[in-house]
Every structure is written in structure tokens, then in C-alpha cells.
Amino acid sequence: MEATAQEVDAAVRAAHEARGALADRTVRAAFLRTAADELEAARNGLVETADAETALGPVRLTGELARTCYQLRAFADIVDEGAFLDVVINHPDDTATPPIPDLRRYKVPLGVVAVYSASNFPFAFSVAGGDTASALAAGCPVVVKSHPDHPALSEYVAKVLRRAAARHDIPAGVVGLVHGFEAGVELIKHPLVAAAGFTGSVRGGRALFDAAAARPVPIPFHGELGSLNPVVVTEAAAAERAEAIGAGLAGSMTLGVGQFCVKPGLVLAPAGSAGDALLKSLTDAVSDTDAGVLLDHRMRDNFVAGVAERAELPDVDSPVTPGAGGEHTVSAGFLTVPASRLAEEGEHDLLLEECFGPVTVVARYEDEAEVKAVLSRLPGNLTATVQLSEEEAAGHGRGAEILAELTPLAGRVLVNGWPTGVAVAPAQHHGGPYPATTSTSTSVGGTAIERWMRPVAYQNAPSALLPAELRDENPLGLPRRFNGRLER
């Protein structure tokens, strides 16, 4: 089933030829909505196929498919509105220094986008997921490299998308699909691929990122690679609501068998009685969590080996031991360690690396200095969370200071919540400093479309030659900035 280099080339060239069919924004928006309709119509078959390959369960998969359809429709609305084109028009101004000529700027699609599917979200971050939806919305055809954990589902979803495309006279090549490791390598090197989106491991993502940069013509590579998603629990918060924080943490770290990219993997909790109460709540909640199935045996083996290696480090305890639950399952658990062990470089640095699965590390701190020391050593993250007391949340104490310390570490900072659950919303940002992502962009939310576009400005171009989007009369009714003023 693995695609040959010739098959990859054919898929990319077919996508390249389909670019013109996406030029009309009205057609693009209609295509995205039809794609959502077709996916919903095929729901039962899609969920059954996905469950057979991933064992994620019909409830989880049905919800994820609904999210995927919502996302497609949300991008259709963005395409209709047109603000993503960032239209800016300046008339000539000879009084400026230097003089300003007639300038008209907007954004155009980059071209064919390579999409690398994720294992843990077979709908929302795969063939019809956010990278594909945002690329198509931008006017870019896609070629998807399927994930080996769900090849049959990938074929099924691609078939549905192509059926939707046909209803709008868009060539089937607008959504290409290839399988296999070598196909993924060939795809990133293809000269007609203009950008790439990836969700996966640090190792795999970094290899593709380097390959994208090493091309004769380098291309943008928007990769989501790995994230620890730290949580800081203040002593006042633990004293005020230890039971609720412990239960919330357990629910977040075990959600989806710990296979969410924003799972909290490191928690800074106070030493002393308040922290002890939090750990008791966490212990009770995690102990009541059933064993679950990871997406494949490779991930299961990595999880079992990873938690065992971490548990053997000096001063690391395991109140609820994570590991193998059965022949195919894993059990949730957590580790504890003095925060002082993480404040300086050493063998405990392993605890500052993501361990994919239902486990978190609770670092017990003695004072604020230890919290700062640990935070200063963390890599980039998708999220960072602080649990504050009611008084701290009202602006008293260190709440604002902790937010300022967390902001450089992550793309999304949460207060008194949990990071699992990434809303599809215009203000969402799902990205962060490296290695969370390789760019400053988001892969979720309306601004994800910006990854697949570039600005171009026309100078002194006659009106008759200008794209309709840039004409003074604004025939398309687009939001724009006209001679320095925002118009709607």
C-alpha cells in the first residue's frame, strides 16, 4: 500500500493542476460546507472504520467527527467574510517622506500543501483535519501523508472529500493521499510542494523540518512536535480547593488515555499539608481510572518503558504506578519528585520531557524560588496553566507575576482550568515556542489559514488590471484598510 516516488509525484502534480478550481472564494466556501455535509452523511461508516483501527470508541470518535465538520464550516465562514485576505490600499501621497505611490496589498495562496496526519486524532488532525481545512480555505490543494495507524479511514475520508469536490466541479486531485514513510520523505522534497503541516513526534517532525529547510527552495514547515504543558498550583489554591484540583488534574491527564497533545505532564505543587491533600485527591481519582488502549503497540511499549525509566530515578516516588495494564492496555498513574531535583541540570531532566500516555509528574516545591528555577528550565509548550485561589485570581498575591512567568513558555495560558479541550474559535492559539511548534502560527482556530498564504503588493497598477479584491470600488465587499482607515 506504500506509495512509490512516482505515485507521490503524480499526487502532487494533480494537486498542483487543481489550484485554479479553488480560485473562486464562493466555490471554496461551498466546497468546505459540502465536505462537512458529506462527512456527516457517512458518519456511521466512518466511525466504525475509525474504531476498528484505533479502538478510541464510538463516543469519542463521533464527537471528534462533529468537531471536524464544525471546523470545515467555520473556515467556510472565514472565506465568505474575506478578512483573512488582509486587503490594504494606499492612494498616492506626494507629501509623505518619502512619497507614497499607489500601493495595494493582499494575500495569495502559496500552492500545494503537504499535510502529515496525526495518530491521536484520526479525524480532527488527519485527512479532513485542521491543516487540510485551513489550506483548502486559503485556496491551496493538499496532499496528505496518512498515518499508519488508520490507513483505511484515511482512504475513506479522502474519498468523501473528493466526492464533495466533484459536486463543485473541483478535480479529485485537490485532495491527494499517499501512504508510507518513504512517501512522506518524497513529499517534503517535491519541488511543487509549497508548504507543509505536521503533527507528531519531536524526532519525526524535526527530521521533516530540516528537510524542508534543506531543499533548494526552502518552504514553510508548520510542525507541532511535543509539549509538557506545565501546571503551577499555588499553596493558597491547594489550601482552598485541593480535592477539586486533584480530581480535575486526574481527569485532564487521563483524558483519551493521556494521548492528547495538551495533557498536563508536569505539575508544580506545594510541599506540606495543602499539597498532601491535593495528592490524596489525585491518587483517589487516578486509582479509579480504568486501564485503556493506546493507539498502537509501539506507543504502548514506549509508554511502559518511559515511565519505568522515570520511576527508577533517585527521589522519584510512584503513589499510583503507571504502566502495563494488560496485554493491550496501560494503566494511569503519576510520579512525584522534589522540585529541587528539577531546578538544575542532571539525570532528572528526563522528567522534563513529554511521556505520551496517562502519566504526569508532580514536583513538590518548598518555596517560590524553586518554582521559578524549574520554570526557567522548561522548553516551549502548547499550554501552561496556573491554579490560583479566589483571592489570587482577584488580583491579590502573585497571580499576575506567575502569568508573566508562564507567558514566555506557551502559546495558551490558562487560569483555574485544564488544557485538554482545544476550542475551535477565532481567538484560539494552538502553538507555542519550540519544540511545541516550529513556527509562531496556530493549527487550530481561524488564523490557522494564515500559514498557507503570502502577501503581495501591486504598485501603480491600472485599475483594469487589478484583482477585484484590490479595486477602489470594493466590488466584493471585503473588509479592508483604505488609506489608513479600517472599513467594513
* Residues assigned a catalytic role: 224, 261
- Confirm if 271 and 364 have CB atoms less than 8 A apart: yes
How far, CA to CA in Å, does 241 sit from each of 192, 222, 233, 235, 269? 55, 39, 11, 10, 13
Q: Can you list the alpha helix ranges (DSSP code H) found in 167-290? A: 181-189, 202-214, 235-254, 273-287
* Grid cell at residue 216: 533548494
Determine phi and psi for 126, rounding to 5 degrees: -135, -135
- DSSP for 348-406 reads GGGGGS---SSEEEEEEESSHHHHHHHHTT---EEEEEEE--HHHHTT-SSHHHHHHHH
Q: Are 302 and 202 in contact (CB under 8 A)?
A: no
Confirm if 248 and 418 have CB atoms less than 8 A apart.
yes
Three cell numbers written together for 272 = 506540606
What DSSP designation does 121 have?
Answer: -
| Residues in Cβ contact with 273 at an 8 Å cutoff, skipping those fewer than 6 apart | none
Task: Name every residue whose Cβ is closer than 8 Å to that of residue 485 and which is 6 or more positions away in sequence.
Answer: none
Q: How far is CA 59 from the centre of its chain?
A: 22
Phi, psi of 259 (to 5 degrees): -105, 20
Taking residue 142's Cβ as centre, other Cβ atoms within 10 Å add up to: 28
Residue 283 C-beta-side C-alpha neighbours within 13 Å: 13
Closest CA to 160 of 11, 8, 36: 36
- Quick check: 397 and 391 in contact, CB under 8 A? yes
